[in-house]
Structure 1
């Protein structure tokens, strides 16, 4: 194993990643593909980040950031690629899959990666690199650490006693956990 340690100074923490030496070329190949596709996307004037999802050494899906052309703030490269992979595999569970992204996933994409049950993330540029070119999502991490009443976006809970959906779902015999 090669132990790579990336120091995340801005948060006072580090990320450890162990890469099996015999698997490293495969991971680098798919990450290089994501980087190449991101560069091609920038050259076409369509934005940068790009992601690739693989399973058992086979590309399942690849996707680019579509925020501006789709007028969709959730259409980050990772989100687009997760949607395509789920459609391709006809499942909402991407366990056994790996995602390669030209940039470290933002909080939204990271949440989607967890919900989709992807096994691993490989990325080239860090969130600090993204911040340096104008994509600073550090405030989102700070917001999530605050109490609801302290957040910039107002959050108010109403009508809990009138909402039966949670109880109905909890009692359903046909529910699918995910």
Structure 2
């Protein structure tokens, strides 16, 4: 018997599509490939002393449109998080403010500011590696996230949100442990 997937779309309609054998595995491999690149960006940012251990990429039709890491220290800009910076680069490159055909891969669960930018840019899908707790464990502030938990802030977004699993999640969480001595908090 053929496997069937039911998908909830942005406008609320339901589409039914057949899934080929190995579909979930293919998606998982694709996600892991792109997430590894976001993690590479996180390491690059710390090595360059540009900012914290966070990286992100924007993908459209399986092509990387933009890649960036946290630039808070380099730009002297507290909003220059990896996700915000990569959205800015992608919008500039594509000459548009809506990224509805794009996906974002982030090395860590986005903070509320980054999540807001992701929502406003209309990115269709977010895949992240490490949980926010990994960043909190090395000193990053979680005050705003704490305040928003339970408010429905994240659940109201019109995009697919997925946390990577297995090895990809572990690789993303290792960034914090491996860079905590190199990275200096501002």
Common fold by TM > 0.5: yes
The within-5 A match list for 1:26-175 is 26-47=30-51, 48-142=53-147
In 1: Cα distance, 2:26 partner to 2:145 partner: 37
Q: Distance in 1 between matches of 2:82 and 2:138?
A: 17
Preserved contact between residue 53 and residue 82 of structure 1 (Cα < 8 Å): yes
Q: Is the 8 A contact 2:58 2:67 kept in 1?
A: yes
Q: Contact 1:53–1:98 (CA<8 Å) still a contact in 2?
A: yes
- Counterparts of 2:116 and 2:41, CA distance in 1: 24
Cα deviation code 1:96-149 (max 9, x no counterpart): 211111111000000000000011111111111111111132444416989xxx
**How much does 1:39 deviate?**
1.5
2 CA distance for matches of 1:141 and 1:116?
A: 24
Q: Which has the higher contact order (CA 8 A, sep 6+)?
A: 2
Structure 1 runs of 4+ with >4 Å offset: 143-146
In structure 2, distance between residues paired with 1:72 and 1:104: 20
DSSP 3-state at the match of 2:26:
coil
Distance apart, 1:45 and its partner CA = 2.8
Is residue 98–residue 118 contact of structure 1 (8 Å, CA) maintained in 2? yes
Equivalence for 2:25: 21
Partner Cα separation in structure 2 for residue 128 and residue 102 of structure 1? 13
Residue aligning to 1:150: none
The structure with the largest alpha-carbon Rg is: 1
Normalised TM-score (structure 1): 0.66
Q: In the TM superposition, what whole-angstrom CA distance separates every residue of 1:59-96 from its partner, at most 9, and x where no partner exists?
A: 00011111111111110000000000001111100002
CA distance in 1, matches of 2:88, 2:30: 23
RMSD over aligned Cα atoms: 2.1
